Amino acid sequence: VQIMGEVPAGKALRRDGAKPGDEIWVSGQIGDAALGLAHLQNHIHLEAQEAQACLNKLHTPDARVTLGQHLLGLAHSAIDISDGLFADLGHILERSGVAAVIEFKALPKSAVLQKYLGHDAALQALLAGGEDYELCFTTPKKNSVELAKLSRKLRLPLTRIGSIKKGRGLTLLDAAGKRMGIACNTKGFDH
C-alpha cells in the first residue's frame, strides 16, 4: 500500500510539536470499535443493537481527513487514535518531550460504552482500544473558540480532555482531581 499527499510547507500535523500549556483535544467518541471487538472475542456481552453500533465503528471507521485539514495552523501536534488513546497520545508525549494530564470524566464516550464502563473490557476499550481513527491533537488554549466553531461547521464533537505539562509521562485524574490507578492494560496495540 502506498499513500501520497501534499501539505503546505511547514504546516504538517506532526507528533513532535506539543508544548507545555497546550490543551489536549479528541474528535468524536473513542472506545466503541475496541468494545465491538471485545464483544466478538467474548470478553464482554453487548445487546444486539449495542454490538451492531460498536461493530459499525470497528468495520467502517470514519477517517477525520477534513478535520485534519482544518487543524493546519491550529494544532501544534496530532495523531490518529489507531492503537489506543494512551498509546497514541504517548507517541506525542515521547516525541515532544512533554507530559500530559487527562481528565477521565472528559473522555468522549458513547452511551453504550458509558453503560458498560464498570466492566474491565469497556475501560480497556476507552483508554487503550484502537481502531476508532479519531484524532487526538494539542493546541494553544486561545484556539478553543475557533475549535467550537469548527466543531459546529463539521458537525463533529471536539472535546478537550486534558493539558500538556512539563516533564514526562501521562497522569489520569478522576472527577475529584485525584490520580487514578488503572488496573487494565493501557499500553494499547503493540506492533
Rounded to a whole number of angstroms, the distance between the first and last alpha carbons of the chain is 17
- On the question of pLDDT at 147 being above 90, the answer is yes
The tens digit of pLDDT for each residue in 81-102 reads 999 999 999 999 999 999 999 9
In this structure, are residues 15 and 91 in contact, taking their beta carbons and an 8 Å threshold? yes
CA atoms within 13 A on the CB side of 167: 9
- pLDDT at position 182 is 66
**pLDDT confidence band for 129 (50 / 70 / 90):** very high
Calculate what percentage of the chain has a pLDDT beyond 70. Answer: 95
- pTM value? 0.92
- pLDDT at position 130 is 86
The tens digit of pLDDT for each residue in 12-61 reads 899 999 999 999 999 999 999 999 999 999 999 999 999 999 999 999 99
**How far apart, in whole angstroms, are the C-alpha atoms of residue 151 and residue 144?**
10
- On the question of pLDDT at 183 being above 80, the answer is no
Tell me the DSSP string of 33-50.
Answer: HHHHHHHHTTSS---HHH
Average pLDDT value for residue range 130-136 = 94
- pLDDT at position 186 is 52
* Mean model confidence pLDDT for the chain: 93
Average pLDDT value for residue range 137-149 = 97
Which cell numbers in the block locate residue 103?
Answer: 481528565
Cα distances (Å, whole numbers) of residue 91 to 80, 139, 154, 191: 11, 16, 27, 13
In this structure, are residues 125 and 31 in contact, taking their beta carbons and an 8 Å threshold? yes
Q: Who's near 85: CB < 8 A, 6+ residues apart? A: 26, 30, 107, 126, 127, 128, 136, 188
- pLDDT at position 187 is 58
- pLDDT at position 10 is 84
Short-list 98, 86, 94, CA closest to 26: 86
Short-list 185, 183, 172, 191, CA closest to 34: 185
- pLDDT at position 184 is 43
- On the question of pLDDT at 161 being above 80, the answer is yes
In this structure, are residues 164 and 20 in contact, taking their beta carbons and an 8 Å threshold? yes
- pLDDT at position 175 is 86
**How far apart, in whole angstroms, are the C-alpha atoms of residue 77 and residue 16?**
6
